[in-house]
Structure 1
């Protein structure tokens, strides 16, 4: 387990008018023998898709059937505009779409705009922020007999992310140890990303990495959705209906010359464009 201490409260800078969402955070633990956890998915969400939401449900099934954890909340944390990746819509729209998706399709998911509305933050720092808000500010959760319990924050991600963690030079060792050693991760299988090979190089933290197989393969991605929209193709049933309505209302992801060429290559049966290279902590724009 990592011994790196969490950042102190005075080190966190909040965006203007920021308020941590906790309206769906369950404050009473149902089973006192279990460890309460919060799942946090960091990503671009440009736009949020049904696969992003399915990841939480797959994780919930896995946790219930295979662990001694109890999920008390789930959060989407959209990245900052400072992420500077192709296809990254401004944070205002991305947060709005995530809120629509969470509020209209789920009874337990929330959207935290803390990361989105400020300078770029590393994943390790984002998880520290959640730990501070849930355990220091809110005081964690209680058992039914009133005993206090700290909540464990865990990263929820696709296996494409865990693959970048095993690539030399993409993530710093300190961040990997902080994320996987201190917090841990629930990793959902993504088509085309081998999980076993990636985790072999992360053996030091294997006990904190929970791998979840997709029983029904789903390769929907934000990148493909953007290409469909630029081509004028329907994205109904790939995204929650309120998100589709929002995109249409605000005329988002409209075509331009360079993106049209990508769309035409997709529609003609060519291979889609290669994935965007990860940043210093391995996240991509899709």
Structure 2
């Protein structure tokens, strides 16, 4: 039997249902998080839950649970589903109410759901690197909110998939923002550069871990806007996300990044990231850097 969370209770997943007038279903009126699980332990759990709370607050939804209550629920869910390597997906909507664009009257209870999914580390791609395409960023102006409104992201991801690419790198005019489901980094002359955490991008949890690793080591890092030209002339390019970790990019629009192989700084950051995983969650059975 597989279990899910519905409104604070852990129940049989097949019994977890929501109302057809739930505002998440009708308007995308809600927020979500994806948390990585290694060895049965949630990685950077506190950071994800803090962002979940911030996203909720940004769209005027009050969390009906404390961070501690949410953490306990998620940890129990992972344990009951015996998940060792995978993800927890959680989302909260404003709740169910008669359809109306304006917020419903007070007293509507938000709907919280969560479930687990097995998801192995993408070790082969982490070792060889991935291909990407460049696309205009057509999304709204509050990408810092991890909302359920992902149509722009989905369209970009689909275009990448149609060209047998792993990700779409998005840009507003000449400024690179982020991937359809990832943050983007470039390396030039030994300096790691990534877009600052502002409303144009999602403040990635993995992105923050990478920046912390750079600051704690000898790697120079800058959070600043960078151009398409800088991307195309970079010595190394990589992306980051909860499920992709530190993923080398070896091709953009069918043009190789340098010699078409993961670069030395990307490799160093992969090693540092794996050490952080092991620090929080224990030894990894399938390491990229050995």
Common fold by TM > 0.5: no
Q: Which of the two has greater strand per residue?
A: 2
**TM-score normalised by length of structure 2:** 0.31
**TM-score normalised by length of structure 1:** 0.32
